[in-house]
Amino acid sequence: MSSIIQLLPDHVANQIAAGEVVQRPASVVKELLENAVDAKATDIKLIIKDAGKSLVQVIDNGLGMSVTDSRLCFERHATSKIRQAEDLFSLHTKGFRGEALASIAAIAHVEMKTKQDQEELGIHIIIEGSKFVSQEPAVLPKGTSFAVKNLFFNIPARRNFLKSETVEQRHIVDEFQRVAMAHPNIHFTMYHNGSEMFNLPISNFRQRIVNIFSGKTNEKLVPVKEDTEIVNLQGFIGKPEFSKKNRGEQFFFVNNRFIKSGYLHHAVMAAYEGLLKDGAQPSYFLYLDVPPHTIDINIHPTKTEIKFDDEHALYAILRSAIKHSLGQFNVAPVLDFDRDPNLDTPYQYQNKDAEYPTIQVDRSYNPFSEDKQPSKSFASSSNYKKTEAQPSWESLYVGLKQAGQEIAEMTFENNEAVTSSLFEENEIEQEVKRTYQIHKKYIVSPIKSGMVIINQKRAHERVLYEEFLTSMTVKQASSQQLLFPLQLFYSSDEVELLAELKTSLENTGFVFEAIEEDNVLISGLPVNVTESEISIVLEELLSDLQDGIPDNSFSQNDTIAKSMARSLAIKTGTYLTEKEQENLVHNLFACKEPNVSPFQKPTFITMSVEDLDKKFSL
């Protein structure tokens, strides 16, 4: 029997490895940016076209490579970071496995230009699908230029699995921001289809965060700093009032490497306990510096997960440091929360001395004498005023008996009138109540066969969903104009997303006066949206669309209508008057699909009289 196990060819092995390392264009961006940082560059440019599908290029002014290194860097498991197994636990660089460039070269057209500072000429290499096409000397500036074209050209199945340009571009921006935030000492620029998206000069950590997210980021940052033997912690957290529904602005960096850790995130949320609304997520940008031998970063292909030696100590330090910062900068509520500000000293009296009252004593006054008036000398010199004699307490009851009789007679007459009116026939015939609200959650309405029980939140979602969808389809939504335009601040990514949604949102009733780099100006709202709800509606809409906007216009309108209906629907626990209950019932059964909510959950159930009889027959 012949053997069935055989060694894979190198180009097949590289393509399989590429499946782990290169999942989308953003993976290429991450690897190339990290290589540029490891090369000690001070200026890094990222150029992409068609969301990285056509081109991903990174240009740096780093150390460059020699002729030999430029060829070896494309070989599998060729690395300058590892010499022995122990080196895995003392890493200070980004890449170390030696798989990234080999994997990228296996599934794309790669063009690399590199030159060292001491050399007169550089090297220009072209590789297509792991095959060396050409290698020749060239006149180049110091550093390396790495261009990846036609990603997945030889794996069409993988290329077909890529998302839309909007989604892929968002992933690229995420990777770019993570590397840029970890290294504020490097100048980063990013270009997409010829237009500049980011220009981040060399700065400190705080300024780098503000330059990336813009808006009112600087106002909401609270510094955090704690130095211990286990970890040196620094960074910034967001004030509770600026919390959001999504987790877009949450970053952990360990030894300048972005990581994801649900355990450390739980420590942050524990520090914010009691300060956030339900479902709200705080912003944080935290940099942890730990000894390299206390962590293991080689547990995930993308190196975004890390194993710590002492997670419990890190949890406690992180939680206490954030709590301390929230209290130190008066973000957390003070203990004396019942203090009455009306008892504070007025501003105009703060620097004045207290005026003490003067005391005068009449030494000639004799309390046992019949004449108990003060002496003439004391009366003339003091502010004494003679009070008039008050009537005795017996005078308070004069005429009370006569008034009581009059009140009793009036009460008796009124009682007769009321008693006679209680039994009139037209008062007995009252209209039967049609709807009842139970636990401020369900509405019960009788029908011929029994009764219908309606979930008020889901029913209102269905009503609003069909209203918004109709408005966007017909494009005749009515708006309510604001007396003063409302200015809302967002990050550059969120503003770009709102700009793409502008037409669809205007069909629901929004009126955008201006959309700028870090804010939007709204002058009109849909008729069923209040000014206080607008920020919540748009925030939840951005959260629902953070994975990308659907390409199909109907799918886009459907997503917007669902998100707005969920944000504006009546919440469980809201009291409804009888008129509001009836209107909701009528509007629900006037919908095209009243049986289910926009999220395919039942809006009501029915119970027949027979069902009730069965319950009582047990």
Share of the chain above pLDDT 70, in %: 76
Mean pLDDT of 520-531: 86
User: How much is the pLDDT for 49?
Assistant: 92
Residue 419 has pLDDT above 50, yes or no: no
Report DSSP state, residue 281: B
Length of the chain equals 618
Share of the chain above pLDDT 90, in %: 22
- The answer to whether residues 13 and 28 touch, using CB atoms and an 8 Å cutoff, is no
Give the CA-trace dihedral at 308, 309, 311, 317, to 10 degrees.
-100
For 173, other C-beta atoms within 10 Å of its C-beta total 23
* Domain boundaries along the sequence of the chain: 10-200, 205-328, 442-605
Residue 179 identity:
V
Tell whether domain 10-200 is in CATH 1.10.3720.10: no
Residue 418 has pLDDT above 50, yes or no: no
Mean pLDDT of 120-134: 89
Phi, psi at 288, each rounded to 5°: -110, 130
Mean pLDDT of 318-345: 70
Q: Name residues whose C-beta falls within 8 Å of residue 211's C-beta, 6 or more positions apart in sequence.
A: 198, 200, 201, 203
User: How much is the pLDDT for 190?
Assistant: 94
Q: How does DSSP assign 557-616, residue by residue?
A: HHHHHHHHHHHHSPPTT----HHHHHHHHHHHHTSS-TTB-TTS-B-EEEEEHHHHHHHH
Exposure pattern of 481-515 as b/e (b: 16+ CB <10 Å)? eeeeeeebbbbbbbbbbbeebeebbbbbbbbbeee
Sign of the CA dihedral with 53 first, then 55, 59, and 65 last: positive
Residue 82 pLDDT level (bands cut at 50, 70, 90):
very low
User: How much is the pLDDT for 47?
Assistant: 94
CA distance 257 to 296: 12
Q: 534-544 vs 492-508: helix axis angle to the nearest 10?
A: 110
User: How much is the pLDDT for 115?
Assistant: 92
pLDDT digits (tens, 9 = 90+) for 550-583: 656 667 788 888 888 888 888 888 888 888 888 8
Residue 36 identity:
A
Q: Which fold has domain 442-605?
A: Ribosomal Protein S8; Chain: A, domain 1 (3.30.1370)
The model scores a pTM over 0.75: no
User: How much is the pLDDT for 293?
Assistant: 80
Half-sphere exposure of 363 toward its Cβ, with a 13 Å CA cutoff?
0
Residue 344 pLDDT level (bands cut at 50, 70, 90):
low
Q: Which fold has domain 205-328?
A: Ribosomal Protein S5; domain 2 (3.30.230)
Q: Do domains 205-328 and 442-605 have the same CATH topology?
A: no
> Which among 367, 366, 360, 363 is positioned nearest to 381, based on CA atoms?
360
Higher pLDDT, 164 or 50: 50
Residue 44 pLDDT level (bands cut at 50, 70, 90):
very high
Residue 416 pLDDT level (bands cut at 50, 70, 90):
very low
**Alpha helix (H) residue ranges in 294-399:** 311-328, 376-381
pLDDT digits (tens, 9 = 90+) for 445-477: 888 888 899 999 999 999 999 988 888 888 777
User: How much is the pLDDT for 72?
Assistant: 83
Bridge-partner residues for 234, per DSSP? 225, 287
pLDDT digits (tens, 9 = 90+) for 145-204: 999 999 888 888 888 888 878 788 888 999 999 999 999 999 999 999 988 888 999 999
Both tokens of residue 519? 């804010």
> Which among 235, 175, 250, 239 is positioned nearest to 205, based on CA atoms?
235
User: How much is the pLDDT for 224?
Assistant: 92
Residue 536 pLDDT level (bands cut at 50, 70, 90):
confident
CA distance 128 to 18: 14
Bridge-partner residues for 605, per DSSP? 453
The rounded mean pLDDT for the chain is 79
Residue 425 has pLDDT above 90, yes or no: no
User: How much is the pLDDT for 393?
Assistant: 56
User: How much is the pLDDT for 188?
Assistant: 95
User: How much is the pLDDT for 572?
Assistant: 85
The backbone region for 214, taken as left when phi is positive above 0, alpha when psi lies in -120 to 50, beta otherwise, is left
Residue 399 has pLDDT above 80, yes or no: no
> Which among 221, 331, 209 is positioned nearest to 276, based on CA atoms?
331
Helix (H/G/I), strand (E/B), else coil: 159: helix
- Which 3-state string (H, E, C) describes 37-52? HHCCCCEEEEEEEHHH
Report DSSP state, residue 546: T
- Strands of 408-467 (E only): list them: 436-438, 442-447, 450-455
Residue 143 has pLDDT above 80, yes or no: yes
- Looking at mean pLDDT, say which of 132-141, 241-250, 297-306, 372-381 comes out highest: 132-141
pLDDT digits (tens, 9 = 90+) for 54-74: 999 999 999 888 888 888 888
